[in-house]
């Protein structure tokens, strides 16, 4: 079951959203107008066995990631976080010391982004640990960047390096970027606040570049052509490739939890901001039948992406 | 592990909350100022085996309760809901039809309170169903009622009837108020918007009157004396009493999930608003050593509440 399908269902079944909804469901954050001010909101869950494995992850890193996952959504809108609430369902026997360590880590991370925790809900059950964090944000003078603005001729960019982010049970000592990443809030606001550099569309990479860029293309009514030779492939993707036997570029295109930004812009952008690389990886093209995201190898060969796991073509 | 202890921990460990936090953690909702507007937020989880039993509960009622639990917190602040986000972790095999029914129910309930769902997060895992809903609200001209305003001499009131709300595995055909209750938003706003009737302190009854009133007393620096003869005991509490062998008033004082309001006011209030009863049950008294909530039987006997399950005396 795909998150997108269910979110689409929510969206489709709410055709008469009240006028106060300034950004409807389906973007990195939704927004409602409260007292004339647009308030952006996002929610993300972090579940043991799905988004981390408690056997291999410290309590502190779990708490940190519960906050930073949401802040990556805030970055994708070029918004400024203002506050958060956190809910936790703790496994029986988790212990009060662990619970305090968990909330201390969430709290410290949230505070470091000027995003104080202002409430919570805690339950205990006989199932695994799950954390749900909601972050709200304001535009604060920078118009939010939506997924729907990609325009034919735009260049497609990504920040940082891609692939091999996820620690897996098969690779317990492996790649920890999914725990240690830095939400690209500052970079996004710098780009979006300047008319010369403002992205037309933006998303954060949580489910893999192929799938997330597909979402941007769907919502913008366009397609994208990516040149794998331009992808900023992380060293971790190279390691993953040796294990999987698949080329490293496939890990960069398909692996989830990069928490980098992917955006499109007509401008020629700086190659880095504050030490974070910005890499052009392809071009937005006219909508056409078939997959939304087309792949070309450096030698010009086109790749059939049907089996690369980015469902939802067409 | 008590929710209050952990929330207190969050609160204590954040002594330097930024000035934008207009209602700190520890009330029914927290609030931050966004663009000069105070935005209230609450989060609640609904977990299979904790807050409902999926074997005995329809998907529609689960979805409804996920929203109404939060709206009861909105009522406790006398606020107006404006929007919601919902996160769900679905058990593998839950099925897309069930997932859609669940979101349809959440969606319909939220819309009926002018509180549209504007975003969500959906995962699938090998554990039980859990839903987490965040609702945000505005004061819209009615100053929020906090827990901390109870004053010596106030009368303690509750709405509706208390006790026996929870369906249990032992009583699968039992009491369904915890699924069917109506958040008292309209009543709260009527009371709070009129200076003659405005509550000094208010809370929604989720963990049982004894414990929830203890919270109001702690945050207000007072105690409360309750006369059990005045309690509006629900018929379901009477049924529960026959099973448990405990008096019905104990169920009215201790059972969770009433989702009625408890508040204090100096005024003499109407006995009902829009068909919802408002019952005086006791008085706010000076702070003293021992339990925060003192119980007197109709014959004047004082009850030792130490074993009634309202932890956190002192």
Disruptive mutation site among B118, B139, B141 for chain A (greatest number of A CBs within 10 Å): B118
Asked whether the predicted pLDDT for residue A171 surpasses 60, the reply is no
Label residues B188-215 b or e (16+ Cβ within 10 Å = b).
bbbbbeeeebbbbbbbbbbbbbbbbbbb
- DSSP calls for B228-280: GGG--B-HHHHHHHHHH-S-HHHHHHH-S----EEEEESSPPPSEETTEEEEE
Final residue in a domain of this structure, among B138, B166, B183: B138
In the prediction, which pLDDT does B12 show? 60
Beta carbons of A37 and B42 less than 8 Å apart: no
Contact A42 B119 (CB under 8 A): yes
* pLDDT of the residue at B6: 61
**β-strand pairing of B21-23 with A302-303:** unpaired
On whether residue B310 sits in a domain, the answer given is: no
Domain ends where: A138, A168, A190?
A138
A311 pLDDT band, cuts 50/70/90, is low
Nearest chain A residue to B20 by CA: give it.
A82
Cβ-based contacts of A118 with chain B (< 8 Å): 17, 21, 23-25, 30-32, 41
CA-to-CA distance for B6 and A113, rounded, in angstroms?
22
3-class secondary structure, B282: strand
Query: Structural domain tally of chain A?
Result: 2
**Do both B172 and B124 map to the same domain?**
no
Candidates A12, A27, A34: best to mutate against B (most CBs of B within 10 A) is: A34
Distance from CA of B70 to the nearest CA of A (A): 11
The Cα–Cα gap between A43 and A206 comes to 13
Model pLDDT, residue A215: 94
Question: In this structure, is residue B237 part of a structural domain?
Answer: yes
Q: Are residues A233 and A129 in the same domain?
A: no
In this structure, what are the phi and psi dihedrals at residue B135, rounded to the nearest 5 degrees? -120, 140
What distance in Å separates the CA atoms of residue A173 and residue A155, rounded to the nearest whole number? 36
Q: Do B136 and A42 touch (CB under 8 A)?
A: no
Residue A263: pLDDT over 90: yes
pLDDT, tens digit, for every residue of B58-112? 999 999 999 999 999 999 999 999 999 999 999 999 998 999 999 999 999 999 9
pTM, two decimals, is 0.92
Contact at CB, B85 and A42, closer than 8 angstroms: yes
CA distance B234 to chain A (A): 26
Distance CA B50, CA B106 (A): 19
Helices (H), chain B: 3-12, 59-76, 96-112, 177-180, 185-192, 209-220, 235-244, 248-254
- pLDDT band at residue B314, thresholds of 50, 70 and 90? very low
Please tell me whether residues A125 and A46 are part of one structural domain: yes
How close B264 gets to chain A, by Cα (Å)?
23
Provide ipTM, 2 decimals.
0.89
Q: In this structure, is residue A144 part of a structural domain?
A: no
Could you tell me the residue range of the domain that residue B128 belongs to? 3-138
> Are B85 and B182 in a shared domain?
no
pLDDT of residue A17: 79
The reply to whether residue B121 touches residue A31, judged by beta carbons under 8 angstroms, is no
* Cβ pairs A/B, distance under 8 A: 231
Q: What pLDDT score does B169 carry? A: 46
At A199-244, the pLDDT tens digits run 999 999 999 999 999 999 999 999 999 999 999 999 888 888 888 8
CA B270 – CA B279 distance, rounded (Å)? 9
Percent of chain B with pLDDT over 90: 74
pLDDT digits (tens, 9 = 90+) for A295-307: 999 999 999 887 7
CA dist., res. B119 & res. B273, Å (int): 34
Tell me how far apart the alpha carbons of residues A119 and B122 are, in angstroms, rounded to a whole number. 22
CA distance A305 to A313: 10
Predicted pLDDT of residue A9 = 61
- Do A157 and A187 touch, CB atoms closer than 8 A? no
What percent of chain A is predicted at pLDDT more than 90? 74
> Are residues B115 and B81 both part of a single domain?
yes
- Mean pLDDT score across all residues of chain A: 90
Q: Where does chain A have alpha helices with state H?
A: 3-12, 59-76, 96-112, 177-180, 185-192, 209-220, 235-244, 248-254
- Residue range A97-143, pLDDT digits in tens: 999 999 999 999 999 999 999 998 999 999 999 999 999 999 999 99
Within this chain, do residues A128 and A185 fall inside the same structural domain, yes or no? no
Identify the CATH number of the domain in which residue B228 sits.
3.90.650.10
- B313: confidence class by pLDDT, cuts 50, 70, 90: very low
N-to-C CA span, chain A: 18
Q: Over the stretch B171-217, which tens digit does the pLDDT of each residue have?
A: 555 568 888 899 999 999 999 999 999 999 999 999 999 999 999 99
Provide the 3-class DSSP secondary structure of residue A76: helix
Beta sheet of A37-47, edge-to-edge order? A21-23, A30-34, A37-47, A130-138, A80-91, A117-125
Interchain proximity A118–B44, CB inside 8 Å: no
**Does A292 lie in the same domain as A206?**
yes
Please say if the pLDDT value at position A248 is more than 50.
yes
Residues B178, B265, single domain; the answer is yes
Handedness of CA A255, A256, A257, A263 (dihedral sign): positive
pLDDT digits (tens, 9 = 90+) for B121-164: 999 999 999 999 999 999 999 999 999 999 999 999 999 999 98
The CATH number for A30's domain is 3.30.1330.10
- The answer to whether residue A149 is domain-embedded is no
Tell me which of A108, A138, A168 is where a domain ends: A138
Average pLDDT, rounded, for chain B: 90
The whole-number pLDDT of residue A232 equals 98
Whether residue A14 is found in the same domain as residue A129: yes
Question: How far does A249 lie from chain B, in Å, by closest CA?
Answer: 26
Together in a domain, B109 and B232: no
Radius of gyration, alpha carbons of chain A? 19
All residues of chain B having their beta carbon less than 8 Å from the beta carbon of residue A103 are: 6, 9-10, 13
**Closest approach of chain B CAs to the CA of A50, in angstroms?**
7
């Amino acid at each position: 079951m795909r998150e997108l399908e269910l979110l689409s269902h929510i969206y489709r079944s709410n055709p008469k959203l009240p006028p106060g909804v300034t950004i409807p469901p389906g973007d990195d954050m939704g927004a409602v107008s409260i007292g004339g001010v647009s308030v952006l909101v996002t929610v993300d869950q972090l579940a043991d066995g799905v988004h981390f494995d408690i056997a291999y992850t410290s309590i502190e890193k779990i708490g940190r990631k519960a906050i930073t996952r949401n802040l990556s959504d805030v970055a994708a809108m070029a918004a400024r976080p203002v506050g958060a609430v956190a809910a936790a369902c703790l496994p029986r026997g988790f212990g009060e010391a662990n619970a305090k360590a968990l909330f201390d880590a969430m709290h410290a991370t949230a505070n470091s982004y000027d995003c104080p925790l202002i409430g919570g809900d805690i339950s205990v059950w006989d199932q695994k640990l799950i954390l749900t964090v909601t972050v709200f944000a304001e535009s604060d003078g920078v118009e939010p960047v939506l997924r729907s603005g990609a325009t034919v001729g735009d260049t497609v960019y990504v920040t940082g390096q891609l692939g091999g982010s996820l620690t897996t049970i098969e690779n317990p000592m492996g790649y920890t970027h999914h725990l240690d990443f830095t939400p690209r809030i500052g970079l996004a606001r710098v780009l979006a606040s300047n008319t010369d550099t403002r992205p037309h569309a933006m998303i954060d990479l949580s489910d893999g570049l192929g799938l997330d860029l597909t979402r941007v293309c769907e919502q913008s009514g366009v397609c994208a052509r990516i040149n794998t030779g331009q992808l900023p492939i992380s060293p971790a993707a190279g390691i993953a490739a040796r294990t999987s036997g698949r080329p490293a570029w496939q890990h960069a295109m398909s692996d989830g939890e990069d928490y980098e930004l992917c955006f499109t812009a007509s401008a020629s952008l700086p190659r880095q901001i504050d030490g974070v690389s910005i890499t052009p990886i392809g071009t937005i093209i006219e909508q056409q039948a078939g997959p939304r995201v087309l792949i070309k190898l450096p030698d010009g060969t086109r790749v059939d992406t049907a089996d690369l796991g980015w469902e939802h073509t067409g």
